[in-house]
């Protein structure tokens, strides 16, 4: 990295020295054909295909970094989603004229977003290690059992498979909720993020939600696309949380967290309105 100028991520998230090694290694691993990359960036503005090429080409880089951050209490699938969102952001914001390699810029951006994810969830500081590990374990058992049974598992089934007590399972569920509320007041900057697999511009879905919940129409428009999608699937399409988790590609724990967080936000907005009308 010594031959490159200092680099900032797509936003201003600070990346400290500890991450420098991961970033350097990831950027090396990406080993991209610079001419190929430059050619795609030259067409990025008016050719969606070029943009998709870049995202696809660097997806392994995002996965690699997500794995570097796994084992710290967050499910790998959630980290992978954070990383691929960051990659899309990096592709959109990269400035080829700055003399920085895209792989480096993307790595810095992805590491920044992953760190912010941990900071926003508050996992790292508040929840004891035992509970984090328990939550991770429960989470993966929930996914496996869900696929085997073709329905959402019971707490007893989860406990038996994970070889823990039912109280442990309930405690793990509580812990995952405890760290959700800490991020209540910290909505992700940037708001409506482009999400892989999610079309943020699905006006029909937003419209249906607003028709259903006219009293919070304004706030609904400000809710990030992924959260709005979850509301739509849960309340308009009547899908269960586990079905939504599968469709969006995040853990059920994460769906549960996002749902309570978003409902609290809407409730607050509705409360303010109903209060002013009274």
Q: Please report, as ranges, the residues that interact with another protein according to CB under 8 A.
A: 142, 149-158, 166, 169-170, 173-174, 177-178, 181, 212-213, 215-216, 234-235, 238, 240-242, 252, 256, 259-260, 263, 266-267, 270-271, 274, 278
Q: Minimum Å distance from CB 137 to another protein?
A: 15
b/e burial code for range 205-231 (CB count within 10 A of at least 16 → b): bbeebbeebeebeebbeebbbbbbbbb
Residue with Cβ nearer another protein (95 or 274)? 274
Compute the radius of gyration of the chain from its Cα atoms.
20
Cβ closest to another protein, residue 30 vs residue 134: 134
Q: Is 20 or 263 the residue whose CB approaches another protein more closely?
A: 263
CA angle 119–124–126, rounded 5-degree value: 105
What is the closest distance, in whole angstroms, from the C-beta atom of residue 55 to another protein in the complex? 32
* Min separation Cβ 273 and another protein, Å: 8
Which is nearer to another protein, 84 or 269 (by Cβ)?
A: 269
Q: What span, in angstroms and rounded, lies between the C-alpha atoms of 91 and 62?
A: 12
Nearer to another protein, 21 or 211 (CB): 211
Q: CA 116, 27, 200: angle at the middle one, nearest 5?
A: 50
As measured in angstroms, the least distance from the Cβ of 170 to another protein is 6
| Residue written as token pair 């303010």 | 272
Minimum distance between the CB of residue 215 and another protein, rounded to whole angstroms? 5
Structure tokens at 77: 């699938």
Report the nearest approach of another protein to the CB of residue 115 (Å): 27
Of 70 and 273, the one with the shorter C-beta distance to another protein is 273
Residue 277 CA from chain centroid, whole number: 37
Give a three-class secondary structure readout of 58-96.
Answer: HHHHHHHHHHHCCCCCCCHHHHHHHHHHHHHHHHHHCCH
């Amino acid at each position: 990295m010594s031959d490159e100028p200092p680099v900032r991520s797509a936003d201003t998230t600070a990346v400290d020295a500890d991450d420098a090694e991961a970033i350097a290694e990831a950027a090396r691993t990406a080993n991209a054909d610079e001419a190929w990359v430059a050619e795609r960036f030259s067409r990025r503005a008016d050719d969606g295909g070029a943009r998709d090429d870049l995202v696809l080409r660097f997806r392994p880089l995002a996965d690699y970094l997500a794995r570097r951050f796994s084992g710290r209490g967050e499910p790998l699938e959630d980290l992978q989603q954070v990383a691929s969102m960051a990659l899309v952001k990096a592709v959109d914001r990269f400035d080829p004229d700055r003399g920085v390699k895209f792989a480096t810029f993307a790595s810095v951006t992805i590491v920044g977003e992953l760190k912010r994810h941990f900071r926003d969830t508050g996992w790292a500081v508040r929840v004891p290690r035992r509970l984090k590990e328990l939550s991770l374990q429960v989470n993966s058992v929930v996914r496996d059992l869900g696929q085997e049974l073709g329905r959402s598992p019971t707490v007893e089934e989860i406990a038996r498979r994970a070889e823990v007590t039912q109280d442990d399972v309930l405690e793990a569920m509580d812990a995952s909720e405890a760290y959700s509320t800490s991020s209540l007041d910290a909505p992700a900057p940037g708001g409506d993020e482009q999400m892989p697999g999610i079309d943020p511009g699905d006006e029909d879905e937003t419209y249906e939600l607003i028709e259903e919940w006219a009293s919070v129409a304004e706030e609904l428009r400000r809710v990030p696309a992924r959260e709005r999608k979850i509301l739509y699937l849960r309340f308009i399409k009547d899908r269960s949380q586990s079905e939504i988790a599968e469709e969006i590609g995040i853990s059920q724990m994460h769906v549960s967290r996002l749902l309570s967080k978003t409902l609290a936000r809407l409730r607050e907005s509705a409360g303010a309105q109903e209060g002013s009308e009274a």
